[in-house]
């Protein structure tokens, strides 16, 4: 399936989860370290992910429908406001 050229909002929940995962890996595994080579970095990342995946935690969506709809309304108002 070809990649679509459609617009994906940066606030998309799946994209937020991907960004959160990258931030977590950076903070817990690669920040403040130096690696002698790219293969060493890849090995460190692979080891971290394999270990982290041993104890997965379920993501529980905590936003209520009312909160999501309120944010959408607020965003629409901001977009419709004269600039």
Q: What is the 3-state secondary structure (H, E, C) of 35-80?
A: CCCHHHHHHHHHHHHHHHCCCCCCCCCCCCHHHHHHHHHHHHHHHH
Task: Region of 32 please: left (phi>0), alpha (psi -120 to 50) or beta.
Answer: left
Identify the residue with better confidence: 6 or 62. 62
pLDDT at residue 5 greater than cutoff 80: no
- Lowest-pLDDT range of 24-28, 31-35, 57-61, 69-73: 57-61
Q: Is-above-0.85 flag for pTM?
A: no
For the chain, how long is the longest CA-to-CA vector?
Answer: 53
pLDDT tens for 9-36 read 656 777 888 888 899 999 999 888 899 9
């Amino acid at each position: 399936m070809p990649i679509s050229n459609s617009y994906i909002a940066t606030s998309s929940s799946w994209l937020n989860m991907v960004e959160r995962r990258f931030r977590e890996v950076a903070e817990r595994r690669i920040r403040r370290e130096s690696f002698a080579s790219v293969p060493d970095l890849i090995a460190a990342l692979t080891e971290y992910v394999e270990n982290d995946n041993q104890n997965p935690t379920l993501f529980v969506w905590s936003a209520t429908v009312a909160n999501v709809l309120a944010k959408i309304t607020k965003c629409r108002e901001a977009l419709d406001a004269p600039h």
